[in-house]
Structure 1
């Protein structure tokens, strides 16, 4: 039997985040050699990462700093509230602010203490024991209002909204961010809606009206009504206000003197 103590097991666990049985097994296989045991655990962790590739990541956290947003996903809510996982998300958003990557691929390639961000996440995934996915990030310039929403009091924020604006005041902008969190708009104006999305709505409306036997002369009006309903659902400035449903968001922000330049809404587990 290799000679190692409970203190050796604790030291190995503290260094790697491995479970007690995994640490004992590694020390046994390594004949009590600490460095070799670490190597064995790293190999096991890498294999486990591979096994986790197909798992779903429907939990996680949205963090914000200086107007930037970042979403880091995991498999369970247990890990989502783990201090190491939260610290990783906070470290990643610091990297975003320091390095100003243009894309997610650029961020994953950033070098941090001798490894890339992608390798850092893979290493933490092996240590924590769950698949971790850096889903997206966004940065903003100028006045930006941020709202973070928790799905449960014991969990970290799962929805994050940032609104870049001019004019008005921070209170009005934050109120708008809260509306965005609840109403889930996809676009700021109808001009941003992809033409193919509009054409899909038109086709669906036209085909549905025909199958329902609507008069030919009514179909054009029905199609336009459906397209307008789509805009009201997904275009921020055309949505009914959550706080004043009889008024549009545009009417609310215009009255507040607020000009919305762009926004981002991240929700854990949602595209």
Structure 2
């Protein structure tokens, strides 16, 4: 049996928010496999599971821009972090964000690493970020990065309050016809945080993990074994409706899905992205 170390316990507690005993039991059952232990915690319906996944104790903004190119349009978005919202909401920090995303777009950067190497007035974007730290007297860094291309691209930048800069940016790329509903879809992405565009985009290992969780949860609830497969498929469909953009219910009209919106205008979605301050990977 794998040794359940303090480091493993801390890792799982940080990831799920579950209690010490629940974490120890899950790790023991999973023989030290953290990924499997997360599934066990979810299957048992522990309230705090996953509550802290993806969070960061950081402030900042999301700067974004759209440029025309040979393929149509390309949107760039970058997360720029500061230690406090006091700094993040200053006109100087907002201007800093605009300068960085403009340099990133000019360089046609495709990753956060390429973004940091992009040329800037200070030398590179990395140099610009370092200078900003000295200027604002706080640790400043470039966080998440997104690049989305298509015939037409729409950006929605959401502010949580009027005095703060954009903290959420939703980007949707569509064909020409789909651009008619692109703004509404960008609002949907901002509000509902989909993870994938279509069901086919969901990685198979994630589907299988959800299937196992649904199966174990159904059996734990005492459901008759012969109907468990049907219940599992229903729960998988609910998972897809929650996490897949095209299958989500339209927030302004629950009788329609996002796929219905595109169908009504004879258009299609090409790609999307959503960045939110503090929600990147640790």
TM-score scaled to structure 1, two decimals? Answer: 0.75
Q: Which residue pairs with 1:63 in the alignment?
A: 63
Q: Which residue pairs with 1:223 in the alignment?
A: 232
Question: C-alpha separation between the residues in 2 aligned to 1:169 and 1:237?
Answer: 13
1:185 Cα deviation after fit: 0.6
1:143 aligns with 2:143: no
CA deviations on 1:4-39 (whole Å, 9 max, x unpaired) are: xxxxxxxxxxxxxxxxxxxxxxxxxxxxxxxxxxxx
Give the number of the structure whose residues are more often strand, by fraction. Answer: 2
- The worse-fitting range, judged by mean Cα deviation, of 199-208 and 135-144 is 135-144
Query: Residue 136 of structure 1: SS of its match in structure 2?
Result: strand
Cα pair 1:104 1:137 within 8 Å, conserved = yes
2:137 to 116, 126, 129: 129
Q: Which residue pairs with 2:83 in the alignment?
A: 75
Structure 1 unaligned segments of length 5 or more: list them. 1-55
1:177 Cα deviation after fit: 0.6
Q: Which residue pairs with 1:52 in the alignment?
A: none
2:167 to 141, 158, 168: 158
For the pair shown, which has the larger CA radius of gyration, 1 or 2?
1
Question: C-alpha separation between the residues in 2 aligned to 1:128 and 1:209?
Answer: 53
Number of equivalent positions: 216
Question: C-alpha separation between the residues in 1 aligned to 2:86 and 2:207?
Answer: 41
Deviant stretches of 4+, over 4 Å: none
Structure 2 unaligned segments of length 5 or more: list them. 1-55, 67-74
CA deviations on 1:71-105 (whole Å, 9 max, x unpaired) are: 21222111111122112111111111111122111
Query: Residue 165 of structure 2: SS of its match in structure 1?
Result: coil
Query: Residue 246 of structure 1: SS of its match in structure 2?
Result: strand
Question: C-alpha separation between the residues in 2 aligned to 1:202 and 1:141?
Answer: 33
Give the number of the structure whose residues are more often helix, by fraction. Answer: 1
Q: Which residue pairs with 2:213 in the alignment?
A: 204
1:171 Cα deviation after fit: 4.5
Cα pair 2:111 2:146 within 8 Å, conserved = no
Q: Which residue pairs with 1:98 in the alignment?
A: 106
Question: C-alpha separation between the residues in 2 aligned to 1:169 and 1:199?
Answer: 32
